[in-house]
Structures are given as C-alpha cells and as structure tokens.
Amino acid sequence: MAENIDSSSILKSPVTRNATKLIVLSTVMFTFISYWKAAAVVVGDLGSTAYYIGGIAEQFIGKIAPYFILALMLFSFAVSALYLESSPLFTRGGVYRVVKFTLGDWFARVSVSALIFDYVLTGPISSVSGGQYLAGLINDTLKHSGINFVINRDFIAMAVAIIIILYFWRENIKGIEESSDKAFKIFIVTGIMGVLVISWGIITLLMREEPFFSHFPPLELHLSEHAYGWLKDVDWIKSIGIISILIAFGHSLLALSGNETLGQVYREVEYPKVKNFKKAIIVIFLFTVVITPGVSFLGLMLIPDDIRPHYIDNLIGGIAMFLYGPQWLRLVVQGFVVIVGVLILSAAVNTSIVGANSVINRVAEDRVLTDWFRKPHKKYGTTYRVLNLIAFLQILTILLSRGEIIILGEAYAFGVIWSLVFKSFAMVILRYKDKRPREWKVPLNIDIGRVHIPIGLMTIFMILFFTAMTNLFTKPIATVSGILFTLSFFIILTVSSIINKRN
C-alpha cells in the first residue's frame, strides 16, 4: 500500500534543501509556419546551388551538364520522399535519428560524421561563390567603365567568404533568431530574379537568327580526364556506358545538397503536418527544377564557348552580360543577380552553421559527446564551443581551397552523397524493423503474403549507393578529405562516448 506523503514535508527535508539547483535548457514553445515558409527555409539551402553547380559540372562532363543537373533535380523529388516518410515517425526526421534507430550507434556516428562534413563544406562553398559573384561584378564594371584594372577574384572571394562566416558565427554566438519571414522574403526575391533572367534569356535566344532549339547543347557525353579521377588510366572503364553515366551523375550531385534541411524544418510545419509538408516539398521541387537547370542551360546557350570559362564561378552573372539590351542595363541586371546571390548564399551559410550546431547538440544529448562541448556561453547561453569549432573548420576549408569553387565542389560531394546513402538504407531497414502504420509511404510497394518489398525505397537507395561507390574512385579530393574528416569525427564521438560511460 502506498504511503501518503505531505509535499510540504518534502520541501522542508534536508535532502531537498541541499539539492543542487539545475537550469534545464529546452525548447518550450514553437511558432508553427506555413508550408510556403517551410519551403523558403529549404530553398535557402537547396536553391543556392543554382549559383555554382552549372560551372562545376561542365568542367567535368562537358556541355551535357545541364541535362544531368535536370535529371538530378527530378531525382531530388524522390529523395524528398525519404524525409516525407521518416519525419512523421521521429521528432526530427533527419539522418542521425533514423540511422541510430535502425542500424545502431556505430552507423549513426559514421552517418552523422558525413553529415557534419556536408555542413562544414556548405558554408565555404556558398560564401566563396558569393564572393566570386561580387568580384565578377566589380571586374565587369571596371572593364566597361574603361578602367584597365582587374582584381584577384579568388582573393576577394576568400576575403568575402571569411567575413560572411565570421558574421554568422558571431550572430549565432549571440543567439540569432532563425526567421522564416526573412527566408520567405529571400525566396520571393530569388524567384523574381530567376524568372527575370530565364525569361529574358529565352527572349534573347528567340531574337537571334538561329532557330531556338538549335541553341540547346548536344546530348553527347564527353567526360574530361579529370572526371575519371583515379580511373583515368583504366581504359575498359571508359567503354562501359552505364559507368560513364554514373560518373556524370556523380559530378552533378551537388544539386541534391540541402535536402537534410527538410528533416530539420518538419517540426515547425503547421498542422495538418504531413499534408502541409507535401505541399512544401512540391513548392521546393517546382522552384528548383526550373531555376537550377534553367540557368545551367542558359549559361551554355547564351555565353560563347571561348568566353564561358571566365564565368565558370560566376555563371548567372555571365548570363546577365549576354542578355539582349544596352550595356548599362545588363550591368544593372548583373548587380541585381549578385545582390540576390549574396542574400541566398549567405542564408545557406547561416543554415550550415545552425544545422551543424543542431546536429552536434542532438548527438551530445545522447551522451555521445562530452559535456565540455555543450558548455553554454556565460553571457548568451549558446553552445559557443561547438559554434567555434564549426566556424574554425569552415574558415580552414576556405584557406585550404584558396577560394577555388571547383575544389570546394569536389570535396562537398562526399558529405552530400554518403549522408543520403545512410539515410536511404536506414529507411529500407526501418520498413522491416518498425511496422507501425505510416502516415505516408514512399510509393511502389509490393506485398506477397507476409513478405513486404519496398521497391521505391530500394531503388532510391541503389541509385545513391552506386553513385557513392563511383564517386569514391572518381573524386579523389572528396574521397581523401571526406574519409579523413569522417574518420576523425567518428573517433571523437567514440572516445567521448567511452568517457561518458566511464563517468
């Protein structure tokens, strides 16, 4: 029989009086957002790749790059379906939670290490791209003003990138307020810029003497020597068509970056959650499938072959300079492109810092990291040591890359693909491990008696897995840097976990 205890006697007891007072930091209130604003937050990361993916992909796979970028954006709809199924099952439907639940701690540590590598590279590639666009605008303005002076684009890009990262590092130390309203405004302005440039580009092509469709790049796959990476001396590889397609697919993979933000934003979506999350995914898909491949096609169709290499890091700025109209108007359009670019690319930098901080703190909550990492700032109460680590790694990456987008793009691909491989594999296993009813499932499922075959999930996983395996041999920079970082971070997580268990 339970005893009735007077609560006042508990409060007066010596144990209670001498108890250590703790302040528990937790999320206590959410402001739920519409699917439009949820889409805007994701587009701030996913849509920013439109500014640099076209130039990077063309360097490796030639003029067929826009077609593969279009294929990647269509495939991104299937990748989004992974998050649509997993998010209602978990508070946060991201990579770490899903992999930990299905595959265990070790796989979760590997997957989260690859994901952190993704976030660490997002900041540098986005900020450097913004710096390249700004430097390109300055050089074009000087040239058309008759001033014979050219600034060093890579140096300016590095300086701008470091300033952007330091700014958002400081803002996050102070406790920046993530604003879906700001993201939505950037989303609107970026949409206006995209529609303006693409529409104006199409009009420019229609006004030329050649038939409109004659400007489209040929559907011929010509991989550069650099595209084969460590396989460049293996002749029989070059004769197998499917491997060449996988190589080209892998070099266009950056178009998938930013999908993890879907798992982060689901919790804030207003009710009915799944219905609104579907709408957000459709908005994201329509936006990115038009803007990202659109500017890649226009870059090839408008900018002459002998001039385009000068705009590899500044593709949309180059498109603006070859639109129909007077010189001053084209410079104005380029200025608008650069302003919008700095906004959306800066938003991607902030998302990378916030995302990495969020993931690392979630790992720390599971006692995988020591409490040293989570020590709050004396004044602002933020996890400043984690933020310091993220900013340090991002600035170090910028310095090591010397402001070259191609190098950053190569390394970036590792985190993007492997975090998605672990995510998709975990989702396949989850179908068998957790048979609870789903609010939504990735389509194409067959049930033969008691045997369930998730064909859709397995297809997504196989495409991602074979692309990732191909990238291991064709992207030396990504493979070496990615494995070193992932292994180092995995060791940190493992050692920290052991220390926590002993304590």
- Nearest of 279, 291, 237 to residue 80 by alpha carbon: 279
Query: What is the topology classification, in CATH, of domain 29-502?
Result: Amino acid/polyamine transporter I (1.20.1740)
Rg (CA), the chain: 24
Give the count of alpha carbons within 13 A of 292, CB side only.
34
* pLDDT value of residue 361: 84
Buried/exposed 152-178: b ≥16 CB within 10 Å, e otherwise: ebbebbbbbbbebbeebbeebbeeeee
* pLDDT value of residue 425: 94
Query: How does pLDDT run along the chain (503 residues), one tens digit per residue?
Result: 444 444 344 344 444 445 555 555 444 445 688 889 889 988 887 878 889 899 889 989 999 999 999 999 999 999 999 999 988 887 554 677 788 888 888 888 888 888 899 889 989 999 999 999 999 889 888 988 888 888 888 899 999 999 999 999 998 898 765 566 788 888 999 999 999 999 999 999 999 989 999 999 999 888 988 899 999 888 888 888 899 999 999 999 888 877 778 877 888 888 888 999 999 999 999 999 999 999 999 999 999 999 998 888 889 999 999 999 998 999 999 999 999 998 899 888 988 888 888 888 888 877 778 778 878 888 888 888 999 999 999 999 999 988 788 888 888 888 889 989 999 999 999 999 888 888 899 999 998 888 999 999 999 999 999 999 999 999 998 899 999 999 998 898 888 888 888 87
Residue bearing tokens 């076209």: 54
How far, in Å, CA of 150 to CA of 423, rounded? 46
Contacts of 321 (CB under 8 A, 6+ apart): 140, 311, 330, 331, 334
* pLDDT value of residue 240: 87
Ramachandran assignment for 381, one of left (phi > 0), alpha (psi -120 to 50 degrees), beta (any other):
left
Q: For residue 262, which amino acid is it?
A: L
Q: What is the pTM of this model?
A: 0.86
The tokens describing 64, both together, are: 């067929």
Query: Would you list the DSSP string of 419-462?
Result: HHHHHHHHHHHHHHH--PPPSS--S-EEEETTEEEEHHHHHHHH
Domain residue extents for the chain? 29-502
- Nearest of 296, 313, 311, 491 to residue 401 by alpha carbon: 313
**Helix H or strand E encompassing 30:** none
- Nearest of 495, 401, 493, 460 to residue 75 by alpha carbon: 460
Query: Would you list the DSSP string of 260-283?
Result: HHHHHHGGGBPSSHHHHHHHHHHH
Query: Bridge partners of 445?
Result: 454
